[in-house]
């Protein structure tokens, strides 16, 4: 199983789960679920991800 796009983006940005969860205004446990692809990224959360990183998660390989 490969690494999720969200986790890859977080690691490339040298952020901890805690740091990113604060920026996205979600709990660290929810971020963990997203990174393990146990939950889907909502359109609202995708917008926050774009605001934090400056581009859409869709463009991450």
Query: Which residue shows structure tokens 């952020």?
Result: 15
- Average pLDDT per block of 10 residues along the chain, 61 residues long: 88 97 99 97 95 84 67
Q: What is the pLDDT of residue 11?
A: 96
Q: What is the pLDDT of residue 20?
A: 98
Domains with residue ranges and CATH for the chain: 5-59 (1.10.260.40)
CA dihedral 24, 32, 42, 9 (to 10 degrees): 70
Cα(51)–Cα(45) distance, integer angstroms: 10
The two three-digit tokens of residue 8, written as one number? 């890859």
Q: What is the pLDDT of residue 1?
A: 58
């Amino acid at each position: 199983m490969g690494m999720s796009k969200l986790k890859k983006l977080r690691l490339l940005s040298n952020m901890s789960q805690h740091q990113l969860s604060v920026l996205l205004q979600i709990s660290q446990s929810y971020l963990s679920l997203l990174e393990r692809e146990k939950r889907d990224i909502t359109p609202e959360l995708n917008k926050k991800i774009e605001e934090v990183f400056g581009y859409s998660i869709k463009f991450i390989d």
